[in-house]
Amino acid sequence: MKLRLSGKIIASFSLIIIFSFISFGVNLKLSSDVNRNTEYLTKSEAIIRNSAKIHKIILEMQSNFRGYLLTENKSFLDPYYSSIKDLGGIVDEQRKLISDSPAQITRFNEIQKLHNQWLVYANDLIQAKFKQINPKVISSEYEVLFEEKLRKEFGKKMTDEISKKFKEFDKTEYRVRKARREKLNESIAIAKRVTMLLAIITISVGVISAFYITHIIINRIKSMVSLADNISKGQFEAIKDTEKDELSQLSDSLNIMSEKLKKSFSELDNYAYVVSHDLKVPLRGIYNLVHWMEEDYGSEFSPEVHKYLDKLKGRVERMESLINGLLEYSKIGRTSQPLEEVNVNELLADIVDSIVPGDFEVRVSNKMPVIFTEKLRIQQVFSNLISNAVKYKGNKPGIITIISKEIPDGVEFTVEDNGVGISPEYHNKIFGLFQTLREKHEVESTGIGLSIVKKIIEDKKGNIRVVSNEGEGAAFIFTWPAIKVGFPI
């Protein structure tokens, strides 16, 4: 079962959202690991700090104890007893911190046990010192303690053992801290790598999905635009679309429109042919009748009758030209001509030979290009413009100048004459159907030539304008887009 376009878009976005949620979940887990390892490291550092504090307090107690024994100065006892009070809170805090480490609890208990033994030893000596009535006479109790404990360095041995236990405790905790720091660094590195990987995957999925959807839409829209463009050129085709989704409705509509237009234009061509044929038949009959009358009764006609008959033939010819012009005008944009290489110099030479009288001077720039285009269309443009220059030459010897200039998208041509010119107020009007200046200049014209020129040029995405004043000639400047532009060597 094929997904509709909306289904593909929803599926693509759903895939991106799923990867985003996966990325969020993994990052949350990795962040939790990093936070946990950070807490472990922070706790380990707190344990080391507390161990240093406890050891320092014990050393200060031992120092104050020795100071009192040596000097019997009771001022040493104040910090001694104060340290005992301070030690209680720190010990409790340390026990909470190491509660999840049985090995460290065991070591800390050994330290505390040794310290308690030392406190008993120290307090006994202090109390014995207190009980001496005469400071100069050593009491028997103090003497016994001195001989059995102090002289045998009992306190020093316990102090050294406490320091040794602290070193073991700290060494173990340093190893734990190092392991936890490495674990933290590892978890941070993993978090970075995984986050980067998931970000790359999510972005890749998003880009691929966007490219896939865009590719589908653009390709199908391009085919529809191409069909519409072909329809505008009179090529009535159809596009194959098997997707059966939202865009299929548009392609189906274009196909239906193409088919209907094909039928309509076919009917229009047939109608135009029939109408032109039906109109031309009586015109030819009139023309032949006049011709026969001239042959059979020409000698009997007065000059004035001959003048009227010539004028009648001219009107018939003009009417036939008008019918042909209308047929040609209706075909522009509906039929395409083959593209071919056109040497404009040679094309103009053929046109000049066929329609320009011998009393005209035609000046063609020697830099006319070779272009790849529809030969018939550009021939029609030049033929109409040159014919127009011939018709409206006025009383002066006729001069027609044709020049070209290369532009980014093709060529700009100028067809200039020295004829009667056109007043600026008529510059736009002359390109309309059946618009001529014959009322002023008595020149036979269908009024459709410049309309054909403008329609051909605009169908080619070019433009045309006129530069002229009455009595000063006219210059028709038009652009002609070309696939390839070159100049003959």
* Helix axis angle, 375-391 to 449-459, nearest 10°: 150
Distance CA 404, CA 413 (A): 4
Residue 325 has pLDDT above 60, yes or no: no
Task: Give pLDDT tens digits for 255-297.
Answer: 777 777 777 666 666 666 666 656 666 767 777 777 777 777 7
Q: What residue type is assigned to position 66 of the chain? A: R
Whether 417 contacts 392, CB under 8 Å: yes
Whether 93 contacts 50, CB under 8 Å: yes
Which whole number is the average pLDDT over 158-172?
A: 88
Place of tokens 């986050």: 195
Higher pLDDT among residues 385 and 428, named by residue: 385
Task: Kindly state the helix (H) or strand (E) to which residue 481 belongs, with its residue range.
Answer: strand 474-481
Task: State both tokens at 487.
Answer: 């100049």
Give the model's confidence band at 155: pLDDT under 50 very low, under 70 low, under 90 confident, else very high: confident
Per-residue confidence (pLDDT) for residue 443, from 0 to 100 = 45
Per-residue confidence (pLDDT) for residue 396, from 0 to 100 = 82
Whether 165 contacts 114, CB under 8 Å: yes
Task: State both tokens at 212.
Answer: 């896939």
Residue 319 has pLDDT above 70, yes or no: no
Per-residue confidence (pLDDT) for residue 257, from 0 to 100 = 79
Which whole number is the average pLDDT over 181-193?
A: 83
Distance CA 392, CA 311 (A): 19
Per-residue confidence (pLDDT) for residue 440, from 0 to 100 = 41
Per-residue confidence (pLDDT) for residue 106, from 0 to 100 = 92
Give the model's confidence band at 433: pLDDT under 50 very low, under 70 low, under 90 confident, else very high: low
Place of tokens 């030819």: 284
Residue 225 has pLDDT above 70, yes or no: yes
Per-residue confidence (pLDDT) for residue 152, from 0 to 100 = 60
Per-residue confidence (pLDDT) for residue 403, from 0 to 100 = 94
Per-residue confidence (pLDDT) for residue 333, from 0 to 100 = 57
Per-residue confidence (pLDDT) for residue 385, from 0 to 100 = 92
Higher pLDDT among residues 45 and 441, named by residue: 45
Which whole number is the average pLDDT over 353-364?
A: 89
Distance CA 344, CA 404 (A): 10
Per-residue confidence (pLDDT) for residue 441, from 0 to 100 = 42
Per-residue burial over 155-177, b if 16 or more Cβ lie within 10 Å, else e, is beebbebbeebbeebbeebeebb
* Helix axis angle, 246-297 to 154-232, nearest 10°: 20
Per-residue confidence (pLDDT) for residue 425, from 0 to 100 = 85
Summary mean pLDDT of the chain: 79
Query: Percent of the chain at pLDDT above 90?
Result: 12
Give the model's confidence band at 349: pLDDT under 50 very low, under 70 low, under 90 confident, else very high: very high
Task: Give pLDDT tens digits for 457-477.
Answer: 988 889 999 999 888 899 999
Whether 367 contacts 487, CB under 8 Å: yes
Per-residue confidence (pLDDT) for residue 331, from 0 to 100 = 58
Residue 445 has pLDDT above 60, yes or no: no
Q: Is 221 helix (H, G, I), strand (E, B) or coil?
A: helix
Distance CA 1, CA 135 (A): 109
Per-residue confidence (pLDDT) for residue 271, from 0 to 100 = 60
Residue 384 has pLDDT above 50, yes or no: yes
Task: Give pLDDT tens digits for 46-92.
Answer: 999 999 999 999 988 888 888 887 787 888 888 888 888 888 888 99
Q: Average the pLDDT over each of 120-124, 335-339, 378-382, 404-408 and give the range with the smallest value.
A: 335-339
Q: What are phi and psi of 332, to 5 degrees?
A: -65, 130
Task: Give pLDDT tens digits for 230-242.
Answer: 776 666 677 777 6
Residue 438 has pLDDT above 80, yes or no: no
**Closest CA relative to residue 242, chosen from 262, 259, 223:** 223
Which whole number is the average pLDDT over 304-315?
A: 76
Query: Percent of the chain at pLDDT above 70?
Result: 78
Give the model's confidence band at 485: pLDDT under 50 very low, under 70 low, under 90 confident, else very high: low
Distance CA 474, CA 489 (A): 31
Per-residue confidence (pLDDT) for residue 216, from 0 to 100 = 73
Which whole number is the average pLDDT over 221-229?
A: 77
Q: Average the pLDDT over each of 12-26, 369-383, 418-432 and give the range with the smallest value.
A: 12-26
CB neighbour list of residue 472: distance below 8 Å, 6 or more residues apart: 421
The model carries a pTM of 0.47
Residue 136 has pLDDT above 50, yes or no: yes
Per-residue confidence (pLDDT) for residue 139, from 0 to 100 = 56
Q: Is 176 helix (H, G, I), strand (E, B) or coil?
A: helix
- How many residues does this entry show for the chain? 489
Residue 416 has pLDDT above 90, yes or no: yes
Which whole number is the average pLDDT over 378-393?
A: 89
Give the model's confidence band at 339: pLDDT under 50 very low, under 70 low, under 90 confident, else very high: confident
Per-residue confidence (pLDDT) for residue 406, from 0 to 100 = 87
Burial of 331 (0-12, 13-18, 19+ CB in 10 A): middle
